[in-house]
Structure 1
Amino acid sequence: MSGGGLQAVFMAQRPALLRFLRARGAGEEAEDLLQDLWLKLEGGPPAVPVAEPLAYLYRAADNLMLDRRRSAVRRIAREDAWGEAVDGAEPGVSDTPSAERVLAGRDELRRVQAALDALGERTSAIFRRHRVDGIGQRDIATESGISLSAVEKHLQKAYRALAMLKADSENPEQRDAG
């Protein structure tokens, strides 16, 4: 079955898929999971023909939910490990950075801000909204009135600039020789 046929089955079975996900424990995330499934279907037809489209949709929805749960479990474990590492600091050792590290950090922040500002106002703003404010790319595209692809290109531009800045700071002799 083609991607368009799967989309038609999806639309016809959307309420049942929503109930299925909620019954499997997705709760409030069920709508988000269905949106992810829809976006996957819009991305094009599966690599192989689908003989049982309804079974395919249920399996895909279940897989998306399981992937999201695994991701959440990994995130919680990571946060717990971080908390234990911070709580388990050596007694008598301060976690407050030295004055030297504070100055170095401020200097690096100024260089990062200058590199971002050099990319232009829009690229800088998109990078900050995504990385600092934690806004999703799709939301940034909507509020900026540009395509998702354009947001991705602005972010790639910023990431390249920051990678070059990092490479320069790690290899100052190359910078001085040039």
Structure 2
Amino acid sequence: MIRRILAAILLLWALGFAAFVVLLPGPAAPSETDAIIVLTGGENRIDRGIALLKDGHAERMLVSGVNRTVRPAELAAETGEPEDLFECCIDLGQDAVDTRSNGAEAARWMRENRFTSVRLVTTDWHMPRARFELARELDDGVDLITDAVASEPSFTQLFLEYNKYLLRRIGALIGI
């Protein structure tokens, strides 16, 4: 009996992993939101957010999880964008250290600015967990659009991220 239960759990885990890999999200269709939130840590995330901002898809952008030593002028130089874009429209969130704290930092920024719609930008393999964390923190009625940056993750990356996502969902269920 215990072997059957363990086999069923393993089968469910394997099917869930297969679905996770096959159903990686992609970029969102063009639409306007009040804000864009970009999570640091992956290639092309900030570039994607800036392109959306410059194309008029939102009025402000938060880059969450920026190292505390980084200043807007430095990020402007790194991205090749003018400093005035950072001064007018891009905020650096420097309190978050992981995906969970990204969600809290971003939701706080959303409340402070009274935004009611947001486009979340992160890498495709990271989006399920990032969306989960942000959605848990956002106020009711906030419209959340996911806009994933396509990547070519390794099997190891996908394996680790899927398990982090599962553990986080289980943790949330039991109140951790």
TM-score (norm: length of structure 1) = 0.29
The structure with the greater share of residues assigned to helix is 1
TM-score (norm: length of structure 2) = 0.29
The structure with the greater share of residues assigned to strand is 2
Q: Which structure's CA Rg is the greater one?
A: 1
Larger RCO (CA within 8 A; separation ≥ 6)? 2
